[in-house]
Amino acid sequence: MSMKISLWLAAGLFLAMLVLTAPLAPALPVLQLTFHREAFAALYGEWVAQGEAWRFTQHFWLDVPFLLAYGWAGWCWRQRQPLAGLLLVGAALADGLEDGLHLWFLGWPGSAPAEFYLVAGWAAMVKFKLWVVAGLVAGVRWWRRLQRDV
């Protein structure tokens, strides 16, 4: 699969996730950035009380293909933009770790060591930061190419 197809697929999956999880209050990133079992359980409990917890559990059907798509796009992109491409690959790896831990937390509540909630929160934070840095790196390179053409 080419980089462009992967990016379009990732964009479509991301949009679908946004639509699916939009009604969650607090928003999905709030739960992703929890670092303690109690905070995770409290936020998930709010969604259960609202009857919306299914949105979180079902978003993984979109999130896993999403991280594979943007991870593959980053892998392909590294040939033209090595840093930005590898940053996306790193983000996908962090996203996969976060998803795996969240699925564990949901499937076997309370069975994960408390430190794993910290790891999941850090993985989410690293993922978000790598997305931003990859975008900035790509944007700067794009801007520099524009300036050379002027």
Q: What is the 3-state secondary structure (H, E, C) of the chain?
A: CCHHHHHHHHHHHHHHHHHHHCCCCCCHHHHHCCCCHHHHHHHHHHHHHHCCHHHHHHHHHHHHHHHHHHHHHHHHHCCCCHHHHHHHHHHHHHHHHHHHHHHHHHHCCCCCCHHHHHHHHHHHHHHHHHHHHHHHHHHHHHHHHHHHHC
Determine the pLDDT at residue 144. 87
The model's pLDDT over 108-145, given as tens digits with 9 standing for 90+, comes to 988 999 999 999 999 999 999 999 999 999 899 889 88
Determine the pLDDT at residue 64. 97
28's tokens: 């999905």
Per-residue pLDDT at 150 exceeds 70: no
The model's pLDDT over 77-117, given as tens digits with 9 standing for 90+, comes to 888 888 999 999 999 999 999 999 999 999 998 899 999 99
Residue pair 137/84 in contact by the 8 Å Cβ criterion? yes
Contacts of 148 (CB under 8 A, 6+ apart): none
CA max distance for the chain: 59
